[in-house]
Amino acid sequence: MKKNFLLISAHDYRSRRKANVHFIADELAKRGTIRFFSLRFSEITRFRPDPRHDLYDRANKVETINGVDCYLWKTPVHAFNTRVKALRPVENLLFRIYQSAAPDIFKTWIQEATTIIFESGYAIIFFDLVEQLNPEAETIYLASDAMKTINSASYPDAILQRVAPDLTSVSVPSRLLRDEFPMSARVFYTPHGIDPAIKDQADPTPYTAELNAVSVGSMLFDRELIRSAAELRPDITFHVIGSGDTWLSERPGNVLVYDEMPHRETLRYIKHATFGIAPYRGEAPYYLADTSMKLMQYELFGLPTICPQNVVGGNAMRIGYDAADRDSVNKAMLAAIAMPHIAKRRFLTWGDVTDRLLTPEHYEDTAVV
């Protein structure tokens, strides 16, 4: 029987910034029909950082890219976390209205799917709609992050806790995330993967300076850490890619800020850097030591990396710092500059990851203990 997959996410397959769902979608396209439904996008989104801004005029219509059917659902407004407890009733009402407005194409894709994957976040609010329209479909929750890490509203989190035992499976990229779900949920461990071929796609060097540090991505981005490091080491050029922070004229002169760029282009900056930076803010969750894709990519290229102490995770390629202690930051940079570039760990491919996501019971290493 040919599989028909539906992946529901706040990402869009066509975005330049790549997350795990993009690579999983590529693998699913090899196994059957794959639809990628992107939600939580509205006129409000235009006033906040979002990697889907350049897709604004391509919203609300189906577009097929690389064998993946894409649909970016744009609404006048979308439900969101107001972060004000007194507004919780209004917030919950917004979510119910948003649920009820699900477009016909989404309902059709639900009805035709054999496997439906809810990426962590707001996607799970449509679980009841899936149960109503297609109760026979396999349902998988892909827990890229904990709800509190992505500042989720209480409404989707409450739904997740209620329906987790009814899901076919829950996939976590770190065993440390097991406690985020009820004990009756069927939780399996599926770490992020990486495409080993990217090591051959990262030339030539984009650098002209002798010493270069690179930071990629916007999650919990700590601007002040970059500022402090740049002031401490004016001889190093700091390349900040896709941070969602313009910085304009106030940044130190040795900090270069780049907009989102194609994933392949970032690889050149990673491979040829002197060291990497994972400048997560102080509230960075403990499980990032296992799940940070930027740290995984740095490690694939054997790139020494500085990061907060709580995400070192015993990894020999990472040097921890205390962002509040400038001396600590400086020592971490000195150690990273002196460290040899050696790739040691073997990672799963995205094909391996997708196999474990779809049939976790077939693999001993997916057990969560």
DSSP state of 280: B
- Amino acid letter, 142: L
Burial grade of 252 (CB within 10 A; 0-12, 13-18, 19 or more):
middle
What does the alpha-carbon distance between residue 349 and residue 218 come to, in Å, rounded to a whole number? 24
* Active-site residue, 145 included: yes
Pick the closest to residue 12 from 55, 42, 43, 46 (CA basis): 55
Q: How many CB atoms lie within 10 A of CB 301?
A: 18
Residues contacting 260, CB < 8 A, separation 6+: 15, 16, 17, 51, 241, 242
In degrees and rounded to multiples of 5, residue 189 shows phi and psi of -95, 120
7 contacts 171 by C-beta, under 8 angstroms:
no
Residue 181: what are its φ and ψ, rounded to 5°?
-125, 155
Could you count the other beta carbons within 10 Å of the beta carbon of residue 207? 16
Separation between Cα atoms, residue 327 and residue 57, nearest integer Å: 48
Spatial contact of 353 and 192, defined as CB atoms under 8 Å apart: yes
Decide the pairing of beta strands 68-75 and 63-65: antiparallel
Q: Which of 145, 222, 290, 355 is catalytic?
A: 145
DSSP strands (E only) in the chain: 3-9, 32-42, 63-65, 68-75, 115-119, 138-142, 169-172, 187-189, 212-216, 237-241, 255-258, 275-277, 305-308, 318-321
CA 136-142-147 angle, to 5 degrees, is 120
| Active site residues per annotation | 145
